[in-house]
């Protein structure tokens, strides 16, 4: 069964653009169709990161996954393995700088509440660095549990 999945990509260490390119290439291997829809990339100020953290390069991608082959938990594991292969430490401080961050924003219309896996992402509707790029892909999307579209959320949280 095909499911549209939104993934937020971010990097604030090393060659940020190259890291996002690698992330997109990896997402292409997970997608049932080779097309990965990616938003324009934006530079953002770190949120809740240690003082002196470099700015982020962020985007959002949407892929079509086979929900039988890649259910949410399995998808999370694959994303975390790939982050590790790109230099992200398995054990790290919360919000520490990172070469690549891949977060599941939504998985179709599913709501998942498990230890270490919350879908939709619990802060996506509050974060400019997610809403801005997502609004370029899916402005009319209503995330599960929300009543406003992505564009409406962005307008009500312009600098979050």
Residue 7 lies in a domain: yes
User: Among 8-12, 91-95, 134-138, which is the least confidently predicted range?
Assistant: 91-95
Residue 36 domain boundaries: 2-122
Residue 9 lies in a domain: yes
Residue 153 lies in a domain: no
Residue 65 three-state SS? strand
pLDDT above 70 covers a percentage of the chain that reads 93
pLDDT in the model for residue 19: 96
Whole-model pTM?
0.92
pLDDT in the model for residue 94: 61
Residue 154 lies in a domain: no
Q: Work out the pLDDT band at 3, boundaries 50, 70, 90.
A: very high
- For the cut 80, the answer to whether the pLDDT of residue 135 exceeds it is yes
pLDDT digits (tens, 9 = 90+) for 24-63: 999 999 999 878 999 999 999 887 777 778 899 999 999 9
Provide the phi-psi class of 80: left if phi over 0, else alpha when psi is between -120 and 50, else beta.
alpha
CATH number of the domain bearing residue 15: 3.30.70.560
**Bridge partners, residue 65, by sequence:** 3
Number of domains in the chain: 1
Residue 112 lies in a domain: yes
- For the cut 60, the answer to whether the pLDDT of residue 92 exceeds it is no
């Amino acid at each position: 069964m095909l499911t549209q999945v939104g993934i937020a990509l971010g990097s604030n260490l090393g060659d940020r653009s190259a890291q996002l390119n690698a992330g997109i290439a990896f997402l292409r291997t997970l997608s049932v169709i080779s097309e990965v829809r990616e938003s324009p990339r934006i530079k953002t100020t770190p949120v809740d990161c240690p003082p002196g953290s470099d700015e982020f390069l962020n985007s959002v991608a949407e892929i079509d996954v086979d929900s039988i082959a890649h259910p949410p938990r399995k998808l999370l594991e694959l994303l975390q393995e790939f982050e590790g292969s790109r230099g992200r430490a398995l054990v790290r401080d919360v919000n520490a700088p990172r070469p690549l961050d891949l977060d599941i924003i939504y998985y179709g219309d599913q709501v998942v509440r498990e230890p270490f896996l919350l879908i939709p992402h619990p802060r996506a509707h509050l974060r400019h660095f997610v809403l801005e790029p997502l609004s370029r892909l899916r402005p009319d999307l209503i995330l599960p549990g929300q009543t406003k579209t992505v564009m409406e959320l962005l307008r009500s949280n312009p600098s979050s």
